[in-house]
Chains A and B, each alone.
Chain A
Amino acid sequence: MKKLITMALAFSLVLGLGLVAQAEDYPSEPITYSIPFNPGGQSDLEARRQQPMLEDILGVSVIIQYKPGGGGSVGWAELVRAKPNGYFITGINVPHIVLQPLARGNAGFETEQIKPIAFFQATPIGLAVLKDSQFQTLEDLVEFAKANPGAITAGGSGTWSGHHIANLQLQEKAGIELTYVPHKGAAPSVAAFLGGHVQALWANSNDLYQHRDKIRVLGFGTKEPFEPMPEVPTFEAQGYDLYASIDRGAGAPPGTPDEKIKVLEDAFLKIANDPKIKEQMLNDGFVPLSMGAEESAKYIQEKIEDWKPVVEKFQQ
């Protein structure tokens, strides 16, 4: 019996040491960084920008693979079923990971299952009209929409996306009705907007910034004014507490040990805090973020509480 206990103790010691050793060795194998969208999207480009730096910091190769489909949900369904050994991570996007399980029961994953590592980039969402539009300010648009419910068409990318939910929130907060016309991505929606096929456009800051010569942005869903376009007021400054942005980060499968998350978190944050990277992002119309694992989890939780009532109300 004594022997057995000794053996058990020895065994658990070896196991424990093994675990410690394993954590110290981490990472020792290539890490797969899965992108739940098609190649060439913003998530992909951001990952490609990070890839060489991640390899430098972590000392192992980082393999980018694509798992597109269902607006990202196929990739996240894979993430929550992957082995939690720290060698498989996936790009995560808010609001997608929050809204998909809320809006459809069978998204294949639950928001809470994803273990966030860090958020490194935000793309504020804004509402814009063309330069020659009759609407000079957000107030003009709201007044017109009050008088003519549903007559204003507003384009955007996707259903139950950041754009869609921003539209729903503005409708509710301003007491107006717009006709939201979803498109299959940002590029087609911008094309439809520039061609005059919709009167207003919900778009990400980088797209709005890129087309700034031809358009007038009526508001951004940020707390502070959007740095590259300081002249545009926030929705908040115009009386609507509406905050909308797409946040890009990375997440790990449920059950991934915290030590491993920490290693990855440090690597991502080191890149995010690099002044050169920050400058590049601002030049492209993005807002650099450096949100650690804990803060990210809290942020996601806040968003769930924020959007649940909006989605539930709209679905009835």
Chain B
Amino acid sequence: MFDLAVAGLEHVLVPANLLFLFIGVFAGIVFGALPGLTATMGLALLVPFTFTMAPAAGLIMLAGIYVGAMYGDAVPAILINTPGTPAAIATSFDGFALTQKGMAQHGLVAAAVASCFGSLVANIVLLTAAPPLAEASLKFGPPEYFWLGVFGLTIIATLSTGSVLKGFLAGALGLLLSTIGMAPIGGDVRLTFGFPEMQAGIELIVALIGFFCLPEILESVIGRRQAKYTSKNVKPNFSVVWEVIRDLFKRPVLMFRSAIIGTVVGFAPGAGGNIASMVSYNEACRWDKHPEEFGKGTIKGVAASEAANSAMAPGSLVPLLTLGIPGSPPAAVILGALMLHGMRPGGELFTVHGQVVYAFMMALLLAAFLVTIIGSFGSFVFARIINIPSRFLAPVIIFMTVLGSYAIRNNMLDVWIMLIFGVVGFVSNKLKFHPAPIVLGLILGPFVEEGLVQSMLAGRAAGGVVQYMVFRPISGVLITLSVLSALWPVYAAWKHKRKQRLEGCACDIEEGPKNA
């Protein structure tokens, strides 16, 4: 394996291929950063070009795009509260709060460094332990997906410390919205109100732009923060880069935990970066000594989310390269590219085409470093964007949001949905409803529904639905985690109260950790 890895590295270090990698990473960052354009689209656009390239060169460029996009989505999440892809939702919680404090560069550098770290850890796992992990990933069946969805929903409790009731109401609304369109199972068309376009359901990115970005623009135009997008003038400088890197290196537990969560979620076919970053953010907040800092602008939150979603990318390649099962939509495009070059995933891929595959994996590794370099230098440019007065910036952002909502599915209805959600989001922010639980419900709804219905079908065939769903090792773990996670806020509140009594201080637990 080692000599193949070296041979692969030699492929990547050919100047022409390095250039392809650089172009790939750069294009990936752009695709990730523009809401409405996704890593999947970037990869699909490139596939025809890779026909004419040597297989190694083509795959190296695809690797660059994939890794670049996993970082790129953090840029708008941090600067304008608009996750470039759903995977960066959790990045915006603290990233945008940092921007509002005038610390946009901290957020951008933290995202770049954490992305690189997550990518590295996951890549090492991919290089060394892919086959056994791929076998393990197959243990994920309908009941596991159901319980994973339920576990994900318990995050609502963390996301809504201000008022758990409001959090659950928002979460329920999200679940309800997720049922619009064609049922994942049964194919019934639900809640389309007579619009054939609504069969497609609510697109996640459209909801993100609506609930996260538009309210901020409205706020900056008609709300408290008129004139400027942020309160302070940002002057990027080099000391910030070192400060952030040093700070993150002092938190190995946070970094490793986030990277591992991302990698593991990546294995499970179907669960994507959005779940990885949400779960990771939640755990970072839960185990931190100062959970109250989360949501008010801490690089810990940004790092947790970005390390996880970047680790998801190589993680999703584990089942792809070993079993031929793509763990994420971008991985599906990479599978297509591999097949078009006559490479069939599975055992033969690592032997017959070993050099090309290791070149691909080495490219993923190298791309991670390129992300840090481009991200750190880029932060000097990006961070200044928010110094532009709102009267110039807001129209540009609105233009981009409309374009992005349309581009994702070429559907005009999506633009209207985005605008409606934007107004709803603005009003609900005023009422102290945070949009995060709505989006969480929207993401997890299909998981829970599909897992439940499939489990019921398979369970009935096996003779008992409840036994089928509960008495399985991974299900057991997920159920336990869900119960603990749901009860955690109760425990945290009790601990807080006790501490308060002991110290006699009047901390305010009512204030939520979110930026709303």
Contacts and interface: CB of A to CB of B under 8 A. Distances in A.
B269 A188 contact: yes
Interface of B: 38, 40-41, 43-44, 47-48, 51, 137-142, 181-189, 192, 194, 196-197, 199-201, 269-270, 319, 323-326, 329-330, 332-333, 336, 339-340, 342, 344-347, 409-411, 446, 450, 454, 457-458, 460-462
Contacts of B454: 181-183, 192
The bracket for how many chain A residues form the interface is 35 or more
A contacts with B: majority SS: mixed
Contacts of A13: none
Given A181-B454, A188-B270, A40 B141 contact: no
Given A106-B196, A192-B141, A284-B339, A187 B457 contact: no
B324 A210 contact: yes
Interface in A154-195: 158-160, 179-184, 187-188, 190-192, 194-195
A66 interface: yes
Contact of A69 (B140, B181, B194): B181
A34 B409 CA distance: 11
B47 A45 contact: yes
B205 to A, nearest CB: 12
Contacts of A183: 450, 454
Given A153-B458, A184-B450, A65 B330 contact: no
Interface of A: 34, 38-42, 44-45, 48-49, 51-52, 65-71, 73-74, 77, 103-104, 106-109, 150-153, 158-160, 179-184, 187-188, 190-192, 194-198, 206, 210-211, 213, 280, 283-284
23 contacts: A34-B410, A40-B329, A40-B330, A41-B332, A49-B48, A66-B41, A69-B200, A70-B182, A74-B197, A104-B188, A107-B196, A108-B197, A150-B461, A151-B462, A181-B458, A190-B324, A190-B325, A191-B269, A195-B138, A210-B324, A210-B339, A211-B346, A284-B339
Contacts, number: 168
Most chain-B CB neighbours within 10 Å: which of A45, A103, A183, A196? A45
Nearest to A149: B461
Top 10 nearest A-B pairs (CB, nearest first) are: A69-B200, A108-B196, A70-B199, A195-B138, A159-B187, A197-B141, A39-B44, A40-B333, A179-B461, A45-B336
Given A151-B462, A184-B184, A197-B458, 9 more contacts: A40-B332, A40-B336, A66-B409, A69-B197, A70-B200, A77-B196, A150-B460, A188-B269, A197-B142
Contacts of B51: 49, 52
A2 to B, nearest CB: 51
B196 A194 contact: no
Contacts of A66: 41, 409-410
A175 to B, nearest CB: 18
Given A48-B44, A69-B409, A151-B461, A160 B325 contact: no
A184 B333 CA distance: 17
B224 to A, nearest CB: 38
Q: Which of A41, A188, A190 lies at the interface centre, i.e. has the most chain B CB atoms within 10 A of its CB? A: A188
Given A179-B460, A194-B138, A71 B340 contact: no
A187 B410 contact: no
